[in-house]
Amino acid sequence: MTDLELMLCAVEARKMSYAPYSNFHVGAALLGKSGKVYTGCNVENAAYTPTNCAERTAVFKAVSEGERAFEKIAIVGGMGETIADFCAPCGVCRQVLAEFCDKDFKLILGNPDNLKTYTFEEVLPLSFGKSDLE
Ligand code: THU
């Protein structure tokens, strides 16, 4: 699966976003090492703090279906109908990804007209993870 194909899955997933409070709609597509794609969108809540980001929705779907090793994730977000030039994953989502992703895990950000790729190490250097608890 190419980076662009994965990003287009994120664009599709974004259409399911439930974001009546922020109107900021996010889609994510996570490629498992099995080759399966897990998509997610943000799901907001009237009490605000129970809101779940698109990236975590994708990770939790994957893990709950038995997949724990991942190759890359594509993320798109923006206000209303518009896909922004760039939507970075929040800190909480980076930490959730840290649990399951190697340092060479790739993040595909930007939008379908301008993809930018980063390694996990670049977006969360000096991370705390499971090896710290060994
Ligand atoms: N959001 C995501 O889904 N992913 C991120 O990494 C950044 C923020 C969502 C949460 C909330 O529904 C909306 O975007 C505005 O913060």
Q: Are 76 and 46 in contact (CB under 8 A)?
A: no
| pLDDT, tens digit (0-9, with 9 covering 90-100), for 109-128 | 999 999 999 999 999 999 99
pTM for the model stands at: 0.98
Q: What is the mean pLDDT of residues 13-26?
A: 98
Strand 114-119 versus strand 24-32 pairing type: unpaired
Q: Which of the following is catalytic: 55, 67, 71, 81?
A: 55
118: exposed, middle or buried (C-beta count within 10 Å: 0-12, 13-18, 19+)?
Answer: middle
- Assess whether the C-beta atom of 28 lies below 6 angstroms from ligand 1: no
Domain regions of the chain by residue span: 3-133
Cα separation, 35 vs 112, in Å, equals 21
**12 classed as catalytic:** no
Length in residues, the chain: 134
3-133 has CATH 3.30.300.180 classification: no
Q: If you take atom 1 of ligand 1, which residue's CA is the nearest one?
A: 53
Q: Which atom of ligand 1 is nearest to the CA of 53?
A: 3
| pLDDT, tens digit (0-9, with 9 covering 90-100), for 34-91 | 999 999 999 999 999 999 999 999 999 999 999 999 999 999 999 999 999 999 999 9
